[in-house]
A and B are shown apart, each in its own frame.
Chain A
Amino acid sequence: MQYEAIVIGVSSGGMNALKFIFSVLPSGFTTPIIIVQHLSAHSDKEWINLLNNKSNLTIKEADEKEKIETGKAYVAPSNYHLLIEKDKTFSLTIDERVNFARPSIDVLFESAADTYKNKLIGIVLTGSNTDGAKGIKRIKEYGGLAIIQDPETAESSTMPASAIAAVEPDYILSLEKIVELLIKITQTNFDGYRGKTIK
């Protein structure tokens, strides 16, 4: 199984989690990563620059109609929902908030699942709300891979815990293990790993 994209949903505590992930992922990591991080509508792009400076990958804000490329990570712009079209380009919308959030993790995950079907990896990380639970469910319904941060290792446990309540995840892992797994999955033919839920 060759996974074509990774979506990550993260809320409170997310800056530290993302900093860790992107400081560890190696430069040869080609699977595109698309991220929703809940932020205030007024926040600027500075945090993306900070993340980008610490990373081997190129991390940028997703633009409307931008083509998703390998070796890049994209972040949803604040105050917009981020959707993925069938032709693997981004769409932005300003529909009402979902789970009190815009961008919403559910909105990204659901449209990513519609597009990538079983070739998608969904990851729910630290956060203090329930966004992402419905989205990770959709990813599983299409046969994608669900990875959830072990709530005990998360800065805020609510979001990963609600995701675990919504689906049977393939993996519940600490951040360190998640990164290891991502590197392993994207470098090897992966089918053999599925279903071995590591606690």
Chain B
Amino acid sequence: MNENKLTIEVYSSGTTRVTGADDLALAEQISFDTFYPGGLFGAASFFVPRDPTASWQVKMGQRMVLRNGQTLCWEGTITAIGFLTGKTPVQGCWVEACGFWGEVLGVRTWQKWWADDRITAAAWEWQASGANIREDWGDLDRDNRLRFTPKAVAWTSGKKIGAQYSMPFGETVKRVVMVWTLSDGSL
């Protein structure tokens, strides 16, 4: 008894099935992978005997589902279609596909600092210019702290030294936690 009778479904968008691809029922050499953690669906491929020069509604980028009866066995997106032609006993189309872990989460990137405790110059940039900035009038110590120490020069009111923190483009600082200390000579 064959308990594995796979069928192939291809969707043009959302939950809309591709029409005019009845030859998917002829597919052979179907194989697919699952993996964990991550996954669950890895690579999949199959071959459809057909005239490779004929128009086909199956396209790259379409969602593909493999089922055994009503049970979904694999889901992903078509990544490549190969056309087997020339001097060969059987002509047809090779379809390769990939699960969404690889095709979405493996190709999308993000630069985001959820919680950033860096105090290096890469995070807090010493300000060399700007309104009222006097970069030569003080120092910044980054030894487990960000400490400003003014140099022994004549400061005029309103002048300052500083460091600037910048989130990546598109991101914002929403919360700041730090411990401050100020010494004005009165202690």
Is B truly associated with A? no
Chain B residues in the interface with A (C-beta under 8 A): none
